[in-house]
Amino acid sequence: MPYFDAASSAPLHPVARQALLASLDEGWADPARLYREGRRARLLLDAAREAAADAVGCRPDELAFTSSGTRAVHSGIAGALAGRRRVGGHLIVSAVEHSSVLHSAEVHETGGGTVTQVPVRRTGAVTADAYAAALRPDTALACLQSANHEVGTEQPVAAVAQECRAAGVPLLVDAAQSLGWGRIEGDWSLLAASAHKWGGPSGVGLLVVRKGVRFAAQGPVDERESGRAAGFENIPGIVAAAAALRAVQAEAATEAARLRELTDRIRTRVPELIPDVEVVGDPDRRLPGIVTFSCLYVDGETLLHELDRAGFSVSSGSSCTSSTLTPSHVLKAMGVLSEGNVRVSLPPGTPAADVDRFLSVLPATVLAVREKLGAPAEPTKTPAAAHALLVDALGKRCPIPVIELAKVIGDVPVGGTVRVLSDDEAARLDIPAWCEMRGQEYVGEEPAERGAAYVVRRLS
């Protein structure tokens, strides 16, 4: 069964498996002890730290192993903010950061700090100028992912780091998605990453704090990992993580070229095979293995279930695949269509035949979902006498409000309007996106007793 969700967690690399099994027999003792078994465990831990530091491009004593990438992010942000509390309490993040960064920002704000979210372009990328404009005299820390986890867009880390360095502000980089493809360029100050993203075992993260960065670890600390990650080190997991990181970086150039060709094939063929599809993310500055697209008139959860039945494991940022019934914050920040969203993230070694079979299965699967939901094949073209219509879609979730809009847009003459009443948060994103895709005018949002009224003017 083709697994196309490597951005969530990559399969365990064969080198990691070998290292994990070998170190289970050698790395079980306490590396802080001076007897033979402890010294043996310490040698394994030190060797893994040196290998990981070489892959990151930092000093071994700047790198600490944590219990996860999320823990690395939380500890890195909290420690950097605490270390620079005399400067101020202002934190900068991008609007498309991983939830671990945004959750840390929420905690900081609740505790009395201030947070600026830097907006992104429609491709999902920030600009260095936007970060520079957000910097203030009381800015203690800025955060930026190296590449986006949902759409694969690479961020201008080096340019942002240069702006931050000029202002004397440390930059923390969440490198979880891209570290397996190579070192993170730029003069960054802190870095966090997660082993299960590059084919290492879960439960291992790393946190890098450059020398000279003011850092005060928060919470109870002990003598392990320079006081930045309390608790007994998971030495077998750490050894496997470091081995996997070296292996995937050694394979990166060849595998990146191959996976980029496969994702380019998906980016090109999906809009050709399926009408009313928006491929999102930067077409050029993106990770090799990730491609994301959204389909009009499609329930994302149903589509994922149908693809699973066909043998493909993919993920989605659609609101209708979430218990919160809100669209992905990444898609929302980009201002792109969220309904029927599919993220394909190919693990290294994915055969081209699996991608070809996915492309052969996808069109009929999308069509079946659309037919099940009663989506229109084409909007009606017969104008009616009324110059304005009201569509009551209250209590209906994506993609039903958009489907109802598409069914009636042809019932008003050119210049006429349709008001869609909806209390689904996704409608705020998907109705404007539908208008852009179908050549209609999105007039705006009006208050309503429940939800909101989204006004659309027919142009063609």
By annotation, the residues acting in catalysis are: 320
Q: Are 444 and 455 in contact (CB under 8 A)?
A: yes
H or E segment at 252?
A: helix 235-273
Report the DSSP beta bridge partners of residue 159. Answer: none
Burial-class residue 359 by CB neighbours within 10 Å (0-12, 13-18, 19+): middle
Q: Are 145 and 97 in contact (CB under 8 A)?
A: yes
Q: Are 274 and 363 in contact (CB under 8 A)?
A: yes
Q: Which residue has the tokens 């950097």?
A: 80
Tell me the Ramachandran region of residue 240: left when phi exceeds 0, alpha when psi lies from -120 to 50, beta otherwise: alpha
Which residues, at least 6 apart from 375, have a Cβ–Cβ distance to it below 8 Å? Answer: 296, 297, 298, 399, 403, 406
Q: Which residue has the tokens 């299965």?
A: 361
Give the tokens for residue 344: 């394909």
Q: What phi and psi, each to the nearest 5 degrees, are found at residue 61? A: -80, 0
